[in-house]
Amino acid sequence: MLSSQIGKKLAKIATCKILFDKQALDLYSVDASSYVVRPSAIAFPKNEKDIIKIVKFASRHKISVTPRGAGTGLVGGDLGTGIILDMRHFDKIKIGRGFVQTGSGLSKGELDDTLRKHGRFFGPNPSIGPFCTVGGMIGTNASGSHSLKYGSTIDNLLQVRIVTSKGNIVTLPKKDNTTKKILRVMKLQSQKQFPCVSKNSCGYRIDKVTAHSNVQKIMAGSEGTLGIITSAKLKTLLLPKQNVLIIIAYKTLKDAVIDVPEILKLGPSAVEIIDHNIIQHIVYKIPNGTKCLLFVEFDNRISKKRIKVQQISSGKIILSTTKYSQISQWWTYRNSALSYSLKSISKQEIVSSIIEDATVPVHRLPLLLDLVKYLTSQYPMRVIIYGHAGNGNLHIRPILKKKDERLIKKIALEFFSAVISIGGTITGEHGDGLARSGFVKLQYGSDTYSVFKKVKQFFDPANTLNPGKKVIL
């Protein structure tokens, strides 16, 4: 079917709002990545029946269906040429004991506000803050500064409800034949192919699916390719009574990352890093010659730990605070790192969306920085670095002149091969999407990649759901 006919035909059979005017198609052609992909129609389902109708129509006519949350993803995972499912109406929320049941379109802001009223919170906290959705966090296996202590979305996902590409409703985990079949496919892979890192959003996380009780985890990081998530049960935690935030200034990034493994022994809730490109946007008296700041936060036994950090750190502590207003101001600086870095890019330059989320075992961070130094000596590029140092997850953003754009793929291949060889993953939290799906095989090798294909074929035999992401069939 011609793409221009899809909207009209869909509008005839659908039971929800469908848009296919130029303005809507332009709007949904982009997300927070640099990719542009024009869809054919956008649907706004209000319930599972609406989704079932749409996926059945799409399968029948071989049209792709791509679920979308808030469009804050950084790898183009929510862009597609067929039908985009805007999940905004799936926004119910119900608090339980130690968990919350939410619709997949619920915003993180609504989730946080509701949980706060009950003295609770959801561990993973992407720097985008309130704007992303539950479905998008599950779709990318998102994490954030506090994932150091509280894990990524995959570690906090208790249950999911999905609409499959055949239009069935499945709740996972469930002890039934479907789960048995899923487990049988998972068992084909070797755990050895999975990097030993605390965060990983590359490929399908079949390493976390080991029994009936955790089969729901296959949906974390699946980027809408295995099913449309309609609701989820998420683990919640008691809000800490008090936090302390310690800001440490260093003369080099390497000095800072060398300190990280020792700091981790104290059990911080966050250890984050920013380089001089970001520091220049901070309004605070920062010592001359500072090239890097480490943000170290604790949320228990804070006085004792504050003293210990002083003893361990080779940098200069420039702030140690328990004041809520000061702590949130500094987290605003840290969470603005991406927008600060984009400000420093001139019109003649481009920033790579392929390299930006590598994660290595924490003690190998100095090696990762050596690798970056080597690449900047070999290629005409500069880099901006910030991220989740405590997880070994650095957002290294290479910036090149537009005329050198063709080098990006070559640099990425060299960079990713080295990251993998030091036991890392090419993406710790943002996922594969259009940026990195072509590198998933490099990460895991042919055998595991062929298991990923079997996973995809099991859930979505007709390749209707977000094709071209995660695995390329």
Ligand X SMILES: Cc1cc2nc3c(=O)[nH]c(=O)nc-3n(C[C@H](O)[C@H](O)[C@H](O)COP(=O)(O)OP(=O)(O)OC[C@H]3O[C@@H](n4cnc5c(N)ncnc54)[C@H](O)[C@@H]3O)c2cc1C
Cβ 135 vs Cβ 69: under 8 Å: yes
Q: Which is nearer to ligand X, 270 or 279 (CB)?
A: 270
Residues whose CB is less than 8 angstroms from the CB of residue 72 and which lie 6 or more positions away in sequence, other chains included: 31, 32, 126, 128, 131, 132, 136
133 touches ligand X by CB under 6 A: yes
Q: Are strands 270-275 and 292-298 parallel, antiparallel or unpaired?
A: antiparallel
173 preceded by a cis bond (ω within 30 of 0): yes
203 touches ligand X by CB under 6 A: no
Beta carbon of residue 467, minimum distance to ligand X (angstroms, whole number):
11
Element (H, E) at 328: helix 324-335
For residues 433 and 203, what is the distance between their CA atoms, to the nearest angstrom? 10
Other beta carbons less than 10 A from residue 47's beta carbon: 12
Instruction: Read off the amino acid at residue 435.
Output: A
Cβ 445 vs Cβ 462: under 8 Å: no
Beta carbon of residue 427, minimum distance to ligand X (angstroms, whole number):
10
Torsion of CA 66, 70, 75, 76, to 10 degrees: 40
268 touches ligand X by CB under 6 A: no
The candidate with the shortest Cα–Cα distance to 37, out of 454, 434, 459, is 434
Residue reference for tokens 């993180």: 108
Beta carbon of residue 222, minimum distance to ligand X (angstroms, whole number):
7
For residues 350 and 384, what is the distance between their CA atoms, to the nearest angstrom? 12
Q: Which is nearer to ligand X, 338 or 368 (CB)?
A: 338
Q: Which is nearer to ligand X, 147 or 448 (CB)?
A: 147
Q: Which is nearer to ligand X, 223 or 255 (CB)?
A: 223
Q: Which two tokens stand for residue 66?
A: 């791509």
Q: Which of 58, 185, 229, 400 is close enough to bind ligand X by CB under 6 A? A: 229
Number of residues that bind ligand X (CB under 6 A): 36
Q: Which is nearer to ligand X, 81 or 252 (CB)?
A: 81
Q: Which of 45, 136, 268, 467 is close enough to bind ligand X by CB under 6 A? A: 136
For residues 41 and 2, what is the distance between their CA atoms, to the nearest angstrom? 12
Cβ 326 vs Cβ 284: under 8 Å: no
Q: Which is nearer to ligand X, 229 or 367 (CB)?
A: 229
127 touches ligand X by CB under 6 A: yes
Q: How far is CA 331 from CA 45, 76, 146, in A?
A: 35, 26, 11
Q: Which is nearer to ligand X, 170 or 413 (CB)?
A: 170
Beta carbon of residue 71, minimum distance to ligand X (angstroms, whole number):
5
Name the 3-class secondary structure at 245.
strand
104 touches ligand X by CB under 6 A: yes
Q: Which is nearer to ligand X, 39 or 67 (CB)?
A: 67
Q: Which of 143, 243, 269, 437 is close enough to bind ligand X by CB under 6 A? A: 143
Q: Which is nearer to ligand X, 70 or 273 (CB)?
A: 70
Q: Which is nearer to ligand X, 211 or 342 (CB)?
A: 342
Q: Is 8 exposed, middle or buried (0-12, 13-18, 19+ CB in 10 A)?
A: exposed
Q: Which of 65, 128, 218, 282 is close enough to bind ligand X by CB under 6 A? A: 128
394 touches ligand X by CB under 6 A: no
Binding mask 35-74 for ligand X (x = CB under 6 A): -------------------------------xxxxxxxxx
Could you tell me which stretch among 45-53, 137-145, 179-187, 415-423 binds ligand X (CB under 6 A)?
A: 137-145
For residues 217 and 446, what is the distance between their CA atoms, to the nearest angstrom? 22
137 touches ligand X by CB under 6 A: yes
The C-alpha angle 366, 432, 381, rounded to 5 degrees, equals 50
228 touches ligand X by CB under 6 A: yes
Residues that bind ligand X (CB under 6 A): 31-32, 66-74, 77-78, 87, 104, 126-128, 132-133, 135-137, 139-140, 142-144, 223-224, 228-229, 338, 429-430, 466
